[in-house]
Structures are given as structure tokens and as C-alpha cells.
Structure 1
């Protein structure tokens, strides 16, 4: 079974610049600078990891880098890109890619990920992760972009499934089939966002369980969990928004439990990016995820002992 949590970049001497903290089977949270004093003072905090958005650290230095360096000394870090526009029709921005690769080298993250989406047009960067049609032409373009990123960073990239609010009539394959083909052609890994699955399934009226049954779980190296918001579309029907501003919903916890039962305990991240709560609230969400990971790890160990 692939393990995407064993990669780290080494300096010219061949040695790691930061401690090589393990991330396997751990639950983590988004790192927010306002939580740093609480994190450092929280001596009773269980060991976990933190994920950061790459675009917040593309400057040369300053307080953001000082805070992240302090966190990286004591915890594993997952680097998550949001503006690479891997699904976009135009070539990747070489400057942006170079900065992204520089962060991978600088912080030696345990995991590196990006979205199956597009977010740029010419020189404009949008504040949205926009969907793309699932066609052979799109497949070739996305695969070329992933190959380019993986060549630049020197390691596998984890590709995240999108949350979606519309479907393209020109699509010729399902999202899960598209993702399987991407993995086959690029050897990338996957970041499974369980909340995105639930949001898309609700918005488009398909079964989240059927989606997960068709999803290549064996290639998943990280899981995202997040809260979502409920709205109504123009016709008054329920519309879910991947808002990252609330606790994880009960239905998403249930899907996560099913996924971990099938895939095994892998790094799991609680995303909370707006209406950010105090540190104890975010910590409690991560603790709930860790309890599910630990329970399935114990069950797997029991089955191994039973067969021995």
C-alpha cells in the first residue's frame, strides 16, 4: 500500500534541516498564527501535525516564516497549495511553481498537496477553486501539469478532489474515473476531502457511499475534514457550500469512519479557515478525528494478532 508520508527534502549535506517527525496515523489541524501562543503553552496536547497554505508563505521572511519555523521544529507539517491552477487551460506559472518548490525545500513537509481545480485566467488569480470538465483533453492537460509539479518538487504530489456546484455537459467520464486515470498516468497520490464528497453528493443528488466505493482509496495519502454551510439555490433547493467555517458535520464523520475502516489510519486534517474559533475548539475536532483513527488502528492490530 503506498505511503506518501515518508518523503523529506535534504540539504546539500544530505541531512535533514528539521526533525523528521512521523505523521502516520495522526490527526492535525490548520495552523493559524493567532493560535501559536496557545499551541506552545499547551503541554498536554497530543502529538499531531499542522497544515499550512503555501501561498501564505511565499515571501522571503518575516513573522509568518518565524511562526512556521517554530511549529516545524516540534511537529510535522503538511504543505497545501491553493493557487497552482492544475486544472487550468493555460501553462503553470513558473514563478509560482518555483516559490512552491522553494517552500518544499525550506520546510521539508511530510505531505504536499494541491487541488483538482483551476483558479487563474491570464494574470488574474481568483479566490475560488473552480471545477473542470472531465474529458480526455482535460485529462492530458492535468497530467502534464502534475508531472511538471512533481518534477519541480522532486516527490509525489497529493491531488485533492473538489467540491462542486455544477456539472459540465461535455464531461465524458465520472470524477472518480478521471481521478483514477490521473493516478495511473502520473503516479501521484491523492488527498481525499470527505467533506467535499458529501457536499458534491448532496448538491448533485448522487450517493456519497457509491462515490467512495469507486474512489481509489489505496492511493490516498491524506484526508481532509471540514465544516460546510447550508444555503438555498435559485429554485429553493438545498445547496451546501464548502465553507470551512464550522465543526465537521455528523454525516461527514460517519463517512470518515467508513473510509478509515477501508483504508486504514492515515494522516487526517481538520480544515477551519474562516470564523476561526479559539484553539480548544479546533483541538477538540482533531481529538475526535484521532479517536476514530486510533480505534481503527486497534481493530487492525487485533485482527493481525487473531491471524497469528
Structure 2
């Protein structure tokens, strides 16, 4: 199967419970994304289903387990398994998080924040280089969600992620929901973050839902991927693509999985914003009478 590029339309994270709906009629969804860690097996129904999906749609692999930002050696077995999936399914894109999830041989089932320091930047660039060499292609790295500002942070997150991309030659996967959550939790303006992101580095955009922390004493938003995309996140998304142009856009929903029609509706909303933004860009400017 030849590598098919991701269209600058809405995609959705694939879930097995939606397979019958997807294979019958996936409209308005144009492509799908999966976590490669769920398919690092030697055979069985998971790989069969992924083969069926890939035969019909462009595919993106979005990793959650490499611990790029941990400053420790990467798991060579994980890299070999990832390369095997890349070779077999020829995804349009491969991406990972700027985060760490392991320490001293122990795996933590979370994406923990990487300090924004020059030393951490150097470690991250080296890790990205290793992954890109291992899989034989350019990858994308995703901006994190922040719940508190680390005291050792020495630069803005935008400077950190752009430097990592420029120095390693990778691209950026911009999660707009992550930006909104981090801005809310840390008290900065999400629009300022959005407005400095360079179009040439961005290969994909993610949208997702979030929730307020269950403990009412903590005024914190949590990146749960369990709700529809919130209105202010849609507004930030429009602001971003209005400036940089349409990009492949994923609707993420990983917890409290809804019926397929709910995800299809979210994808349709993303496509409508893409269309509206493109239509606005095509309209000629009116001359103002002197």
C-alpha cells in the first residue's frame, strides 16, 4: 500500500467499537489516527482491523510511550516495534508527545511535563533525532498540557517547541485544547501562544474536550479527552487556521467513548470551520471609496 498524505480535513482517533460504522460510511471523516502502542503485537484481530482501516483511509500513528522528554535512553524494543508498524502500514505521519513517562526503567502511565531548559532541549533534540533515524522519516512532536509551572523553566514553551523542531528537523503537532488548558491553568493568554506558531512547522492539529478538576478547591482544567470540543477551543482553532491555513485536524476522544455519530458531528464542525476560513481567505478586499 502506498503512503497516502493526510488531507487538510478532519480526522478522528479510531476506536474498535466504531469499526462497523466507519467501514460502512465514515463521512465526514477523511482519515484516522491510532496509538501505535495498541498495535505492537505479532498478529490477531487488532492488526487485521488496522489493515482494513489502512486499505480505506490515510493513517497517522500518534505515540504515547516513547518518553521523549525524559532525558533517558529510549526503549530500543519500542523503537523497533514502531519501525515495524511504519514499514507495514506506511502511515502519512508519525508523532509523539513532548513529555516523559518513564524513569529508571519504570513506566508511568501518564504524560509528565518536560522542564523548559536548555539541557532538556538538548536531550529532547537528541531523542527526536534517534526516533527519526529509527523510523526512517520526519516525525511531529506535540505541545504538552501543563497543570503547574515548573520552577526550573527558563524559556517560554513556544520558544522551546520551535527550537526543538528547528534543531531536529521535525515538525509540530499543535494540540489547541492543550494550549487552552495550559493557558487557563497557568494564567497566560492562549491567543499569544497561537499567534507565534509558524505555519511551516505545523503538520497536524489536535482538538479535544476537557473537564474541570473534580476537586472544587482546585481551579484546574484537566485534559480528559472525554467531552466535545469546548467553544473557546473552537475559537482558538479558527484563529490558528485563519492565519496559517488549513491543516489535517484530529478530533481526539479517548475516554467515555460516545456513539460514532457524536464524533462524526465534531468532525463536521471542524470541516465547517476549515471551509469558512478558506472562503474568507478567497474573498477579494473591497476598495474603499476616497
TM-score w.r.t. length of structure 1 = 0.89
Structure 2 residue corresponding to 1:113, chosen from 87, 95, 105: 95
Contact between 1:86 and 1:146, CA under 8 Å: does it hold in 2? yes
What is residue 290 of structure 1 aligned with on the other side? 271
Which ranges of 4 or more aligned residues in structure 1 deviate by more than 6 Å? none
Secondary structure, counterpart of 1:202 in structure 2: helix
What is residue 173 of structure 1 aligned with on the other side? 155
Secondary structure, counterpart of 2:70 in structure 1: coil
Root-mean-square deviation (Å): 1.7
Equivalent-residue separation in structure 1 for 2:119 and 2:284 (angstroms): 45
Equivalent-residue separation in structure 1 for 2:174 and 2:162 (angstroms): 13
What is residue 50 of structure 2 aligned with on the other side? 68
What is residue 33 of structure 1 aligned with on the other side? 16
Residue 267, structure 1, aligned to residue 248, structure 2: yes
User: Superposition pairs for residues 30-179 of structure 1, below 5 Å?
Assistant: 30-42=13-25, 45-46=27-28, 48-179=30-161
Secondary structure, counterpart of 2:174 in structure 1: strand
What is residue 220 of structure 2 aligned with on the other side? 239
Once the two structures are TM-superposed, the CA of residue 109 in structure 1 deviates from its matched residue by 0.6
Contact between 1:51 and 1:79, CA under 8 Å: does it hold in 2? yes
Equivalent-residue separation in structure 2 for 1:63 and 1:200 (angstroms): 38
Please, which runs of 5 or more residues in structure 1 have no aligned partner? 1-16
Equivalent-residue separation in structure 2 for 1:46 and 1:119 (angstroms): 34
What is residue 174 of structure 2 aligned with on the other side? 192
- Cα–Cα, structure 1 residues 64 and 232, in superposed 2: closer, same or farther, change >3 Å? closer
Equivalent-residue separation in structure 1 for 2:164 and 2:63 (angstroms): 18
Contact between 1:176 and 1:215, CA under 8 Å: does it hold in 2? yes
The number of equivalent residue pairs is: 286
Contact between 1:86 and 1:145, CA under 8 Å: does it hold in 2? yes
Deviations 1:184-203 (A, max 9, x none): 21111000000000000000
Once the two structures are TM-superposed, the CA of residue 122 in structure 1 deviates from its matched residue by 2.4
Once the two structures are TM-superposed, the CA of residue 232 in structure 1 deviates from its matched residue by 5.9
Once the two structures are TM-superposed, the CA of residue 153 in structure 1 deviates from its matched residue by 1.3
Please, which runs of 5 or more residues in structure 2 have no aligned partner? 286-290
Residue 220, structure 1, aligned to residue 202, structure 2: yes
Once the two structures are TM-superposed, the CA of residue 217 in structure 1 deviates from its matched residue by 3.6
TM-score w.r.t. length of structure 2 = 0.94
After alignment, is 75-84 or 293-302 more displaced? Answer: 293-302
Equivalent-residue separation in structure 2 for 1:21 and 1:138 (angstroms): 34
Equivalent-residue separation in structure 2 for 1:301 and 1:61 (angstroms): 48
